[in-house]
A and B are shown apart, each in its own frame.
Chain A
Amino acid sequence: ETGVTQTPRHLVMGMTNKKSLKCEQHLGHNAMYWYKQSAKKPLELMFVYSLEERVENNSVPSRFSPECPNSSHLFLHLHTLQPEDSALYLCASSAAATYEQYFGPGTRLTVT
């Protein structure tokens, strides 16, 4: 595997389900990010982890819970989501929190 990988690529979940999105980077980077991309809206930064510590949390609802167990892996735990949470969720990594980011292919999430 190379670059940034995300699993699953597609996810359909009900509002009462609990699921997790996984991201793995193979670039030796120290910072990782979660973004939300909705139709007709700009990319929204959700969380930033630098050296496994959360350094940014942009007022994201508590039904989204990130976890960064090491510098190569990032998870987004989801529970009791709403239909408006349906979107493309993108993971990215960078050498440091001030450098250009490299994105994964995203997880297309649909909440029914």
Chain B
Amino acid sequence: EDQVTQSPEALRLQEGESSSLNCSYTVSGLRGLFWYRQDPGKGPEFLFTLYSAGEEKEKERLKATLTKKESFLHITAPKPEDSATYLCAVQAAGGQNFVFGPGTRLSVLP
């Protein structure tokens, strides 16, 4: 059964304090790993797709990396507006199903 776990469950950072969020997955052949950001009361907002181990993607202060067992979302010099819940999801090869992790709730304090 495909599974996704995320750690930590919650993270509080000071503005400018860089850190990383982890997404560990078990899937029978990975088609893609997806990162989303979700603000309270809103739907998730797409950030990145990673397809193979070693791949990296960047957007502003965010950088996502992928290995065969996990993905990291690195946040460099975060700002308060980066506060949100970050969700990771995987899709297995040959299927239509997406499996989401429980998310990491990030708070960046000014």
A interface residue numbers (CB < 8 A to B): 4, 33, 41-45, 48, 50, 55-56, 58, 90, 92, 97-106
Contacts and interface: CB of A to CB of B under 8 A. Distances in A.
Given A41-B102, A98-B32, A100-B49, A56 B96 contact: yes
A42 B103 contact: yes
- Name the interface size band of chain B: 20 to 34
A74 B12 CA distance: 38
B87 interface: yes
Interface centre among B34, B42, B98 (most CB of A within 10 A): B98
Interface string B90-104: 010000111111110
B43 A105 contact: yes
Nearest to A4: B43
Given A41-B102, A42-B103, A100 B96 contact: no
A97 B44 CA distance: 17
Contacts of A33: 98
Contacts, number: 54
Interface in B14-46: 31-32, 34, 36, 41-46
Nearest to B101: A42
Interface centre among B31, B34, B43, B44 (most CB of A within 10 A): B43
A97 B46 CA distance: 15
B84 interface: no
B4 interface: yes
A3 to B, nearest CB: 9
Contacts of B41: 105-106
A51 B105 CA distance: 35
Contact of A101 (B4, B31, B46, B102): B46
A106 B97 contact: no
Contacts of A42: 4, 99-103
Closest 9 A-B residue pairs measured CB to CB?
Answer: A103-B43, A43-B100, A56-B96, A42-B100, A42-B102, A100-B46, A97-B96, A48-B96, A103-B44
